[in-house]
Structure formats: structure tokens, C-alpha cells
Amino acid sequence: MAYPQAAQPAVASPPPAKVILTSADLHRVVDRIAHQILEKTQGADRTVLLGIPTRGVPLARRLADRIRTFEGVEVPVGVLDITLYRDDLRLRATRAVGHTEVPSGGIDGQRVVLVDDVLFSGRTVRAALDALSDLGRPSSVQLAVLVDRGHRELPIRADYVGKNIPTSLTESVKVTLAESDGADEVKLIGGAAQ
């Protein structure tokens, strides 16, 4: 007697992904942002770049490298950990506190450019502004992001944007960088099939 086979559970297929920026595109975008920073800051005079972990840190270092290549100017780079300033600490799993590295000259009286990979709700930037106020008093604060995907919940905008990518709330933007992920790429994931 043959027994009917049990139905196999359906295997969920991964959400569709569309490459928004290739490695070459990403390098061009970083070059463009570096040029914009040079133009808007009169040659990066009294400017400090602070990367927001995780991917904002290598982006800040890349920007400093490109500024040095273009103008021969050494722009100090630091790391701004925002873990304890986030407004979702009690809503998420416990996370390790990172480290903040302030350049040796500090930030007082300097123009600080915060660098992050994706601007979404604006809450990460708000946390960065709170963290920054505990470190000193910059003359001004600007924001550079690789991708602005919209959907702001706070009145925050970037001064330098690599690419604006209109998204739905069911989509996400995945940035990979060679320094942390082994490759440079930006993908739009989820939503309707591409």
C-alpha cells in the first residue's frame, strides 16, 4: 500500500534585489561628494569628518583620501559611536557599545561633516547630533550620505547626497563596502519584483 507524501513546506524565495550602484558607480559618487565638500567648505579648511559606524567610517576615510588626492589637504577623520544615544535602545536586543575616536585636534570650532551610508528616518543622525554635543562645540555640522532613501520622521536633510533612491517602506537599501563586506555595491531589496 502506497502512502501519500506529506506536502513539503514552501521555501520562501529571497526578496528581489536590484543593483542601484555598482563598484564603479560608488567610486564616482564618493569622488563627487569629496569635490562638493571641497567646494562648500572652501578647500576643507577647518573641517573634520566623523564616520557613523558601521559603514559611515570607511566612507569618511575614503572621502578624506579623495580630498587628499584632489587638493593635497589632510582632513582629520574620526569615529562617532551613537549606540547610547539611540532612541530605540529599549526596543532592540542589547548591543555592544562601540568606540568614539575624536581626531587629535578635537572638534571645537571645527566644521564637522557627519558621514553615514543611508539616510532614512533621520533618527541615526539625531542620535549623532546628541553624541556630538557631548564631545565639544563645532562651528557647524554638515551631513554627507551615500544614499538618501526618503521617509524622514525628523526634520533632517543631508548637505551631500551620493544618490537619492525613492523607496517604499517594504523595501530596504543594502550597502556593502570592500572594507567591511568584501565588495562595493548598493542594492534595493524587497518590494515588487524588479
pLDDT (tens digit per residue) in 172-190 = 999 999 999 999 999 999 9
pLDDT (tens digit per residue) in 1-53 = 566 666 666 666 677 899 999 999 999 999 999 999 999 999 999 999 999 99
Question: Mean of the per-residue pLDDT values for the chain?
Answer: 91
The CA-CA-CA angle for residues 45, 120, 31, to 5°, reads 40
23-86+99-190: CATH topology:
Rossmann fold (3.40.50)
Residue 194's pLDDT band (boundaries 50, 70, 90)?
very low
Cα dist. 75→45, 101, 113, 119, 159 in Å?
8, 14, 11, 23, 18
pLDDT (tens digit per residue) in 51-93 = 999 999 999 999 999 999 999 999 999 999 999 898 876 666 6
Q: What percent of the chain has pLDDT over 90?
A: 81
Each domain of the chain, given as residue ranges in start order, spans 23-86+99-190
| Closest CA relative to residue 146, chosen from 136, 132, 138, 158 | 158
Cα gap 27→4, rounded to integer Å: 57
On the 0-12 / 13-18 / 19+ scale of CB atoms within 10 A, 61 is middle
